[in-house]
Every structure is written in C-alpha cells, then in structure tokens.
Amino acid sequence: MIVPSNIALSMAVLQNRKRTQVIVAMIALVALVSMGSALFVYAPITPLSETTSADAPNKTSPSSPLTPAEEEVLQVEKPEQTQTSEYGELIATLDLLENDRVYADLVRKIRSALRNNQQPTGQQLQQLNVALAGKVVQLNAALTQAISVGNVQLLSKLAASNFFQQYAVYKLLGWSWLSASAFEKYKAAASALTRAEETGDDTSVVESLKSIRDITGYQGYNDRISSLDELLASEYEEDVKSRMLSSMAAGDHDTVLSVARENSDLVSGDLALKDLLQQAIAAKTKASRDESFVTALEQAESDDWEAAIQTARSIPAELRFNEIDEIIKTGERILAAKKTLRSLALKPDRLTDSNVGRYARKKIESVADLRPLSPSLDRAVVTLSDLLEGASETVTVNILSDSRATILIPRLGFIEPTFEKALKLTRSEYKFIVRCEGKQDIFKYLDLRGVSSTDAQSIRLTCES
C-alpha cells in the first residue's frame, strides 16, 4: 500500500542524514507546505472525494471527469527498483507513473534529483500528485463503464493492474470489493444475469441485478430493476386472477381461499376478486367449517384437547364462529392448568411453604369450572389436593431451654424464657434465633419436611448451646 503521508516521513529521515545546507533547504520546503503549497504527495489526495463517478459504488459525482483511458491506466507496471530503499514510498509512487505517456518526463526528473541526493521541487511534487489524482479519475471512469455493461473481463483486468492494487484501491474505497472475495460473488451473479437474459427469465434477471447491487453497491441498474419489478408485479396480478377464476369454475373452493389469503392485499383492492372470494367462502362454509367443528367437538369430549385446538385452528379465521373460538380458548386454559398443577405436584416438599400452598389452592379454585370438561384435569386437581392436605399436617416439636433465652421463630413469633415449650408446626424448614442478654445471637435450624406427623421432635435451645 502506498500512503503519501509516509513519503514525507521517509524523505525527512533521509534529509536528516545530509549536509547542513540540505537540511536548511528541507526546512524551507516544509514551510511552503505549512503555508498552503499543494504538495499533495505528502498528504491524502483531497480531490478524489469530488471526482468519483456517480454510478460508482462510492456514489460521489465528478466535478470535471476525464475521458476514460483504460489502456493508459493498465499500462502502468512496476519496473525493477533501482534506487536505494532509503527513498521508500516516493520511489514506489514514481514506479506507478514510470511508463505514463504524459508524466514519464516528470518521473525521470524526480528520479534524477533523487539519484543526485537533491530534493524534488514543490512544483514537481504537486505535478506528481495531480498525475496520481488524474489516474484515479480515469480508472474510476473505466471501472464504472465496465460494470455498467457487465464486462467482467475488463473489471478483472483493471483490478489486477499495479496502479489499482498498490494505490487506487485505497482512494476508491467503493471499489475495494474487487480485491476481496466479493469479486467472486460478483462474477457468479454476473454469469447468472447473462443466463437469465438469454432465457428471458425476468424474475432471475431482477434477482441477479439486485444481487450485483448488494455485492458492489453499484446503483446504475436501479431504473432497470424498478421497471422489471413493475412488470413482474403486473404479471403476478394477472396470474392470481386467473388461478382464482379457474379454481372457482372447477368448484375448488379450498384453492380459491388459499390464493386469496396469500394475496390479501391484492384481493382487497379488486372488487371482482373480493366478490369471488365471498362466493368461495359461502360455498366452503358448510362443506368444511361444520365438518371441522364437529371433529373438534368429538376430540374435546374425549379429553384430547390438544387435537381439538389444532382442528379448530385449522378452520380459516374468517370462517370461525364463537363456538369454534370457545373450543380454542377452553382448550388452552385446560392445558395450561394441567401443566401448572402437575408441576406443583412434582415437588410436594414445596407445598409446606405457606406461600406455595396458598398459590396451589388458588390454582385449584380457578379451574373448578373446567374440571367437568377434562377428566385428566380433574385427576390432577385431586392429586394436588391430597398433597396439600398432607403438607398441612403438623408435627409436635418440644423446645427445651434454660428459662433465660428468648427464642425467635421468623414468620411465627417468639417464645419468652421458659424451660420447656411444645409447638405444633407444619412440615417445613424452620430457623430459631436464641437471644440471651449480653451474648451474641445463636442460630439453630430444624427441617420437618420429611418427618411423619406422628413422630414428635425435640430441640434444645439455651444460652449455652
């Protein structure tokens, strides 16, 4: 990659090695640059943002584009480097214009100055920058012309040139895809476009054009794409009308309804098609809707609510009446209730928690109206109710203390100092806090979840425990 700003750095390093007189000359030249001298070789080429073709992928328009000179662009080949590597980026830049018919003399003069350890003049460097900018404009025009006609061979040739690979690609960022894998994708899209045009496949033509636009950013095909889109839309509309009319004539109401659903926007804007759709709906109502409704009822009565919901949903929405929607809503409630109740029953230990137990009871109450409609839901309610009943049973817990400790039981209250206290606790997990004057609190735990209601428990809670 040739970066003009690096040229200045290379030359500055070189100049520091020269005589004091040459250093003074270099300082004077740098002063000219800072005062506005157009030595673009030492900085990015500013005019490029204003000279790129409007159809090129970077989408900027030329202020005064040059006539495309493809052969002149392509003739630039990098010669054997003969100068010392100390001249760095400037020599590489000169190589790009070595065989240029217009600027060959300028290149020779600058090379001669470098060989004599002399600094090129500000005018020479400005001319060099103008030459590079002109080459970029020419190459951009050539690339734009090539892609506009789908000339893959010319694009490949231009992209393979030294000038594009070593310089222009960093200025014409919109064409950077030519040096990437995107170029292979473009070639495939261009080949597909050629085949589609040969066979008259307008749909594939549009797809290929859009693919090329997406890959390259080239906007020159927009008018053609819009025109083909309109043509295809018109042809599709006629095809929809033809299919609906022929299906209706054959008594194939399912197809009429299907086509109408797939093209609802088109049908809604055409009075003839809307009338045809209404006729098909009326004809289909008794033959299809009622049959599916009866099937859904039978499935619901057999407690196969998943199948009942599926059957009811298979009826087109515009054909459903309230009873069909009710099957769907009721079935969804039953399935959701069974899932919740069974989930609670899978972890009976959690039911000893007062919050969980309260939630489970509310769920059971909320499905009371559904139990007659689903034997499986009724069984789930019975199972969970039995588990709740078992979880509510209490266990006798004897607390042994020293008549000095105050015993706190979170969420239940506290026990004043005593020697012994018997409590009836549900089968859950409990935390006891033993609080004694002048001492730190002592924590004790008791898990009753797996204990039989007839098996009394004892726990010692004293200031010395």
Higher model confidence: residue 398 or residue 281?
398
Whether 25 has a pLDDT exceeding 70, the answer reads: no
Q: What contacts 397, CB < 8 A, 6 or more positions away?
A: 422, 423, 424, 425, 446, 448, 456, 457, 458, 459
> What residue type is assigned to position 305 of the chain?
W
> What residue type is assigned to position 410 of the chain?
P
Higher model confidence: residue 49 or residue 174?
174
What's the whole-model pTM score?
A: 0.41
What pLDDT score does 381 carry?
94
What pLDDT score does 465 carry?
66
98-107, 136-145, 244-253 — which is least confidently predicted?
Answer: 98-107
∠ at Cα 384 (382, 388), nearest 5°?
Answer: 115
Cα–Cα nearest to 150, from 195, 200, 181, 199: 195
pLDDT digits (tens, 9 = 90+) for 383-424: 999 888 877 777 888 999 999 999 999 888 899 999 999 888
Higher model confidence: residue 28 or residue 299?
299
* Confidence grade of residue 361 (pLDDT, cut at 50, 70, 90): very high
- Asked if 139 contacts 163 with a C-beta cutoff of 8 angstroms, the reply is yes
Whether 66 has a pLDDT exceeding 60, the answer reads: no
* Confidence grade of residue 87 (pLDDT, cut at 50, 70, 90): low
Gap between the Cα atoms of 327 and 306, Å rounded: 10
Query: At 118, phi and psi to the nearest 5?
Result: -110, 150
What pLDDT score does 434 carry?
94
- Asked if 84 contacts 150 with a C-beta cutoff of 8 angstroms, the reply is no
Percentage of the chain beyond pLDDT 70 is: 81
208-212, 227-231, 295-299, 350-354 — which is least confidently predicted?
Answer: 350-354
User: Within 13 Å, how many C-alpha atoms sit on residue 101's CB side?
Assistant: 6
Tokens standing for 344?
Answer: 């609670």
Tokens standing for 151?
Answer: 């000339």
Whether 60 has a pLDDT exceeding 60, the answer reads: no
CA distances from 369 to 366, 373, 384, 387, 435 (A): 8, 8, 17, 21, 51
Cα–Cα nearest to 285, from 326, 316, 244: 316
* C-alpha 346, offset from chain centre: 39
What pLDDT score does 411 carry?
81
* Confidence grade of residue 286 (pLDDT, cut at 50, 70, 90): confident
**Domain spans of the chain, in order of start:** 4-179, 221-297, 337-391, 394-460
What is the rounded average pLDDT of the residues 415-443? 89
Gap between the Cα atoms of 279 and 177, Å rounded: 55
Whether 43 has a pLDDT exceeding 70, the answer reads: no
CA distances from 114 to 30, 78, 129, 270, 285 (A): 17, 18, 17, 79, 93
Gap between the Cα atoms of 129 and 135, Å rounded: 10
Cα–Cα nearest to 38, from 155, 122, 97, 141: 122
What pLDDT score does 387 carry?
87
Cα–Cα nearest to 260, from 272, 273, 242, 271: 273
* Confidence grade of residue 102 (pLDDT, cut at 50, 70, 90): confident
What pLDDT score does 57 carry?
56
DSSP assignments along 157-225, one per residue = HHHHSHHHHHTGGGT-GGGGGGGSTHHHHHHHHHHHHHHHHHHT-HHHHHHHHHHHHHHH---TTHHHH
* Confidence grade of residue 284 (pLDDT, cut at 50, 70, 90): confident
What is the rounded average pLDDT of the residues 275-291? 84
What is the rounded end-to-end Cα distance, in angstroms, of the chain?
81
What pLDDT score does 402 carry?
92
* Confidence grade of residue 447 (pLDDT, cut at 50, 70, 90): confident
- Asked if 87 contacts 14 with a C-beta cutoff of 8 angstroms, the reply is yes
- Asked if 444 contacts 434 with a C-beta cutoff of 8 angstroms, the reply is yes
Gap between the Cα atoms of 244 and 302, Å rounded: 39
The conformation of residue 462, written as its DSSP 8-state character, comes to -
The CATH-assigned architecture of domain 394-460 is Sandwich (2.60)
What pLDDT score does 352 carry?
76
User: Within 13 Å, how many C-alpha atoms sit on residue 438's CB side?
Assistant: 2
- Asked if 53 contacts 148 with a C-beta cutoff of 8 angstroms, the reply is no
Gap between the Cα atoms of 94 and 64, Å rounded: 25
DSSP assignments along 354-371, one per residue = HHHHHHHHHHHHHTTTTG
What pLDDT score does 203 carry?
92
What pLDDT score does 185 carry?
93
Q: Is 17 helix (H, G, I), strand (E, B) or coil?
A: coil
